[in-house]
C-alpha cells in the first residue's frame, strides 16, 4: 500500500555553544543543579541575526543532499515551529523561496515540541492520499528569544536548532508504519507564552506589566510528560502491530533525561536502545526529534530494516508518536 518513507535527513545547530557555567553568569543557577535535574550540559543559541528560516534552510539543504533529491522535486513543504520568523508569512514559505523550490504548497504547523511528529503524520497522510509525492518536513526553533532570564526554571532548558527530513511515496515494506497524536487544550497554561498574540497583544501601555517570555509549571508538566510518553507509545504500538521487543531504537523528545528514564522504566524499555543528545542540545522543541534522528543516522545507530520509535510531548498540551521501518 502507498505510504511514505524518509529518504534523507539533515540538521543544523548554531555555532554559539552556551554551557551551564555560561548560564550561571546570567541567572541564579549552577552546573550541578542543571545536570542533576535535567541531564543538560550545554545548548546552542542562534545569533541575533539568525532567524528560524536561516537554520531551517541549512537543515533542509543537508536533508535534500542526503536524499539525492533536488529542491525542484519537492512538491510540498511543512515546517513545524513555534518560533516563526514572522506572524506571517509562514516560515515554510520563506524556506520554499530560499531553497529554490517551485511554486508548491508550503505551510507551518504549531504543535510545540510534538510538532515534528504531527508533521510526520500529516506528510504521511498527504502522501498516502496521493496529494503529494515528495515532501520536505522541517522542525525548527529559536526558543532562546522566549527565555525570560528572571525565570531560572525555563532559562536553563531550551536551545535553538533545526532538523529536516525528505519523505517520498513508497510501496514496499519500509517507511512510516503508524503515527499517533493527541492534545489537551485545557492544560494550555502548563507551558505557554501568554502575551504577544491576539489575546494579549503587547502595547506600549502594557509592556512593563505583562509576562513577555515563556511560563511553565515544571512539576505538572513533568508528570504529564511521562504519562503522555507512555500513552502515545502504547497507542502507536497498537496501531502498527509492533511490540516493544521489535523496537531497535527509541528517539524520544529531548526535554529531560529524568523524563526519558521514567518513561523507559514504565515501558520496560532498555536504556541502551534510547538515543539521547539533550546533554549537548538542551530542549529544541519541534527540532529535537529530527536533529536526533539525523545524528543517530550519521552515527550508524539506524540500519536498513530497523524499527524506530519516535515519541514527543509538549505545550498544548500535545503528544505524539510514530513507528518507522527504516
Question: Which three cell numbers, joined as nine digits, stand for 63?
Answer: 536533508
Contact between residue 323 and residue 236 where contact means Cβ atoms under 8 Å apart: yes
Active-site residue, 113 included: yes
Site for ligand UT7 in 145-204 (CB under 6 A): 152-153, 156-157, 191
What's the gap between Cα 74 and its chain centre? 21
CB of 88 to ligand UT7, least distance (A): 25
**DSSP code for 26:** T
Q: Kindly give the residue spans of alpha helices, DSSP state H, lying in 211-311.
A: 218-240, 257-266, 278-281, 288-298
**Which residues in 24-63 contact ligand UT7 (CB under 6 A)?**
29, 33, 37-38
Contact 85, 145 (CB under 8 A): no
Instruction: Give the binding range for ligand UT7 (CB under 6 A) out of 116-124, 175-183, 214-222, 236-244.
Output: 214-222
- Check residue 113 for interaction with ligand UT7 (CB under 6 A): yes
CB 286 within 8 A of CB 316: no
* Nearest residue to ligand UT7, scored by beta-carbon proximity: 218
297, HSE (Cβ side, Cα atoms, 13 Å): 22
3 is catalytic: no
Catalytic hit among 79, 93, 113, 297: 113
Task: Based on the shown chain and the rule CB under 6 A, indicate whether residue 83 belongs to the binding site for ligand UT7.
Answer: no
The least distance separating ligand UT7 from the CB of residue 23, rounded to whole angstroms, comes to: 8
Nearest distance, CB of residue 232 and ligand UT7, angstroms:
14
Place of cell 511515496: 169
Q: Which is nearer to ligand UT7, 217 or 246 (CB)?
A: 217
79 catalytic? Reply is: no
Among 283, 295, 307, 321, binds ligand UT7 (CB under 6 A): 283
CB 107 within 8 A of CB 99: no
* Nearest in space to 82 (alpha carbons), one of 197, 217, 216: 197
Binding interface with ligand UT7 (CB under 6 A): 29, 33, 37-38, 113, 152-153, 156-157, 191, 218-219, 221-222, 225, 255-256, 283, 314
Active-site positions read 113, 253, 283
Amino acid at each position: 500500500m502507498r505510504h511514505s518513507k524518509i529518504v534523507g535527513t539533515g540538521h543544523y545547530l548554531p555555532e554559539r555553544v552556551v554551557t551551564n557555567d555560561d548560564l550561571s553568569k546570567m541567572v541564579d543557577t549552577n552546573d550541578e543543579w542543571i545536570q542533576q535535574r535535567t541531564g543538560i550540559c550545554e545548548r546552542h543559541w542562534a545569533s541575533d541575526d539568525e532567524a528560524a528560516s536561516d537554520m531551517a534552510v541549512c537543515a533542509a539543504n543537508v536533508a535534500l543532499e542526503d536524499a539525492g533529491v533536488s529542491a525542484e522535486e519537492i512538491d510540498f513543504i511543512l515546517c513545524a515551529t513555534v518560533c516563526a520568523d514572522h506572524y506571517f508569512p509562514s516560515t515554510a514559505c520563506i524556506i520554499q523561496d530560499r531553497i529554490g523550490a517551485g511554486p508548491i504548497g508550503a505551510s507551518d504547523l504549531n504543535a510545540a515540541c510534538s510538532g515534528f511528529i504531527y508533521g510526520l503524520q500529516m506528510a504521511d497522510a498527504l502522501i498516502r492520499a496521493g496529494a503529494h509525492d515528495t515532501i520536505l518536513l522541517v522542525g525548527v526553533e529559536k526558543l532562546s528569544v522566549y527565555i525570560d532570564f528572571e525565570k531560572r526554571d525555563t532559562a536553563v532548558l531550551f536551545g535553538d536548532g533545526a532538523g529536516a527530513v525528505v519523505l517520498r511515496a513508497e510501496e514496499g515494506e519500509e517507511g512510516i508504519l503508524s503515527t499517533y497524536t493527541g492534545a489537551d487544550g485545557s492544560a494550555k497554561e502548563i507551558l505557554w507564552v501568554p502575551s504577544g498574540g491576539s489575546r494579549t497583544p503587547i502595547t506600549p501601555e502594557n509592556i512593563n506589566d505583562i509576562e513577555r517570555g515563556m511560563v511553565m509549571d515544571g512539576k505538572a508538566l513533568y508528570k504529564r510528560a511521562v504519562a503522555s510518553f507512555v500513552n502515545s507509545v502504547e497507542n502507536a504500538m497498537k496501531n502498527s502491530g509492533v511490540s516493544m521487543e521489535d523496537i531497535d531504537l527509541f528517539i524520544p523528545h529531548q526535554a529531560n533525561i529524568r523524563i526519558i528514564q521514567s518513561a523507559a522504566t514504565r515501558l520496560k524499555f532498555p536504556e541502551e536502545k534510547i538515543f539521547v543528545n539533550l546533554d549537548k542540545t538542551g530542549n529544541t522543541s519541534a527540532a529535537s526529534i529530527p536533529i536526533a534522528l539525523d545524528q543517530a543516522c550519521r552515527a550508524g545507530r539506524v540500519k536498513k530494516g530497523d524499527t524506530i520509535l519516535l515519541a514527543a510531548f509538549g505545550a498544548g498540551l500535545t503528544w505524539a508518536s510514530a513507528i518507522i521501518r527504516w
